[in-house]
Chain A
């Protein structure tokens, strides 16, 4: 008799595997008194435990493969911060000293205090963070306890392929360890859709169902169960028909994964022979690595803001070193460096009221190239670093949020000045480095004819362009439904940009999120796009769609739709484009 247990669907994927029940790491926390003269000893014992716990987390963070699990590293970092937070660290020491009690108990008392504060929050997400604090405290407590295992999951086999780990709760660290050992899927009794375990499982691609009540008592060790992460269910004692169904599902998924992997070395040509270039958006090392392994044709958008978010603005040499290391990794493929796209008013004077008012709408304020043209010293430092990098590889320079021809001319003038400065220093650069503009402002999009004549290429930043054109912030739940890529106005706007670019023989890339969404690949191809730049994780999926598309048929269907978008009442534009493929 099959039994279906349900929980939160947090990470999709189907697993048919054997259950391994993880031993509960619940600790008995007792209270005992200590003598006044032992206070320092107890505090030392506590500090050593924190040190050991901290070391364990840092070592774990070190081992995490950033190319696949950057969020895991960040979550672990937040746990390290919590460990050193005065609300835990100082308060526990004070408690030991004032109450003359053992460290475990002092920690427990602090934990409950903090948890009651978290529980009183209105915000569900913040309430959930109480779980992180609990996990951090448990880790320190386990280090304090003499009999506790020195490493977590010591009793878990080294190889976990085909194994489903069922636990009461898992910390991000434990999850990373299980991932390292190749766990097939996870089930926990505790934890909701906002928990870090959920976020992590999803980013590591481990199928997971969380919050399954009684999972450990209902699932037998070594029994074969089905986990469907997409539906959020675990099926114990499955019958033949169910098993067969899920074997099929798994085979399909496996075939799909293999077919994607086999595309890595293949060209992104459509069925009717249209050549398409797929590039990656990246900033840090992890994404650069991922771009290379996914077979990107280069970096279509290299963000540089991270360099400016670590205190003082980076000097020319620091930036140059960063750009050169990216070029080095790319091994001859092009690197498109976007200049600073910060939205802050860098003025350091205390703000007066009128300035504060102005910064209320930063999306429409002094940001990106507008900011750079005001602070030309800051901007030229970056331009010189980019120019110098251009002598060591294929570098293109991309200016964000271009609005007017005047801005482009000012940028060109600053580049010329920078070149003269480099000449004086006898430092080499590519004299013909290409200059591009990001098309994000609707008025700039409609003035491609004028702007395009002053640029060597364009990159359409659809995230901001759509937001400005639809006057809707997709982060605002109340209006997010208006953020519609199939809005006739948006389709026409994109069509206009790409057509004009073609007429001007201006290379055009789309680098917004839509470029990496395989559902829209056909639509972009039908609009005339031939260069995509996207998150590297999406590259192979998009390539698959390109290779399965007849661009001519899609283009014809698009033309028909554009004549009268409301004619196709019962069918969306995307469905229409898919149908065009079947009939050709």
Chain B
């Protein structure tokens, strides 16, 4: 299992389109993915779970991945978040 922390930096936070892209990204991998915000944790492959995190911009998240492709999964997700989900800066 690997785990990394990341800050949500896009303007709108984990809104629906960003959450959709994140869940799509997580679903590309076989590993189990958990996203944590403070005491709350949700399945990274669940759109509803990710939405209910209500992670606004500036929120710190912990992403955990476990499985054969855990490293690739976590890299891809961190990159997506750091790149503001491909939104315009």
B67 within 8 A of A: no
CA distance A74 to B20 in the complex (A): 8
**A87:B49 contact, CB within 8 angstroms:** yes
- In the bound complex, residues from chain A placing their C-beta under 8 Å from that of B78 are 344
Q: Given A75-B16, A346-B75, answer yes or no on A305-B83 (Cβ-Cβ < 8 Å).
A: yes
B74 CB to nearest A CB, Å = 8
User: Within 8 Å of chain B (Cβ to Cβ): is A306?
Assistant: yes
When the two chains form their complex, are residues B82 and A74 in contact, meaning their CB atoms are under 8 A apart?
A: no
Chain A residues whose C-beta falls within 8 Å of the C-beta of B29 in the assembled complex: 311
The reply to whether the CB of B54 lies closer than 8 angstroms to some CB of chain A is yes
Give the one of B11, B52, B71 with max A CB within 10 A.
B52
Across the interface, name the chain A residue whose C-beta is closest to B49. A87
Question: Smallest CB-CB separation from B43: which chain A residue?
Answer: A86
A463 CB-CB contact with B under 8 Å: yes
Tell me the complex Cα distance, A359–B8, Å.
11
**Is the CB–CB distance between A475 and B17 below 8 Å?**
no
Of the candidates B29, B43, B89, the one having the most CB atoms from chain A within 10 angstroms of its own CB is B89
Which of chain A's residues 315-364 have a Cβ closer than 8 Å to chain B? 342-346, 348, 350-351, 356, 359-360, 362-363
B41-77 toward A: CB 8 Å interface, digit per residue (1/0)?
0010011110110101100000000000001100110
Task: Tally A-B pairs: CB < 8 A.
Answer: 105
Identify which of A19-27, A125-133, A493-501 touches chain B.
A125-133
Complex contact B82–A85 (CB within 8 A): no
* B80 CB contacts on chain A under 8 angstroms: 309
Could you tell me the distance between the alpha carbons of A356 and B61 in the complex, rounded to whole angstroms?
12
Q: How large is the interface on B (under 10, 10 to 19, 20 to 34, 35 or more residues)?
A: 35 or more
Distance between Cα atoms of A345 and B7 in the complex (Å)? 13
Give CA–CA (A86, B5) in the complex, Å.
25
Q: How far is the CA of A359 from the CA of B75 in the complex (A)?
A: 14
Q: Which residues of A sit under 8 angstroms from B28, Cβ to Cβ? A: 310-311
**In the bound complex, do residue A74 and residue B17 qualify as a contact, i.e. CB atoms below 8 Å apart?**
yes
- Pairwise interchain contact B52-A342, C-beta atoms closer than 8 A: no
The contact of A125 among B4, B9, B15, by CB within 8 Å, is B15
Min Cβ gap B32→A in Å is: 12
How far, in Å, is A147 (CB) from chain B's closest CB? Answer: 29
CB-nearest residue of chain A to B85:
A309
Nearest opposing residue in chain B for A81, CB measure: B47
Tally of chain A residues near chain B (CB < 8 A) = 47
Contact in complex: B83, A86 (CB < 8 Å): no
B35 beta carbon closer than 8 Å to chain A: no
**In whole angstroms, how far apart are the Cα atoms of A126 and B52 in the complex?**
7
Residue of B nearest to A71 (CB): B17
Q: Mark A38-69, 1 if CB is under 8 A from B, else 0.
A: 00000000000000000000000000000000
Known contacts A123-B56, A346-B79: A132-B89 contact under CB 8 Å? no
Interchain CA distance A513-B67 in the complex, whole Å: 42
Residues of chain B at the chain A interface (Cβ within 8 Å): 2-7, 9-11, 15-17, 19-21, 23-25, 28-29, 43, 46-49, 51-52, 54, 56-57, 71-72, 75-76, 78-80, 82-84, 86, 88-89
A residues apposed to B, CB below 8 Å: 71, 74-75, 77-78, 81-82, 85-88, 114, 117-118, 121-123, 125-126, 129, 132-133, 196, 305-306, 308-312, 342-346, 348, 350-351, 356, 359-360, 362-363, 463-464, 475, 513
Apart from A78-B47, A463-B89: 7 A-B pairs, beta carbons within 8 A: A86-B43, A117-B52, A311-B28, A311-B76, A344-B78, A344-B79, A351-B4
The 21 listed contacts between A and B (C-beta, < 8 Å) are: A71-B17, A81-B23, A82-B48, A85-B46, A87-B46, A87-B48, A87-B49, A117-B52, A118-B52, A123-B56, A308-B83, A309-B25, A309-B80, A312-B72, A344-B78, A346-B75, A351-B4, A360-B7, A362-B7, A362-B82, A363-B9
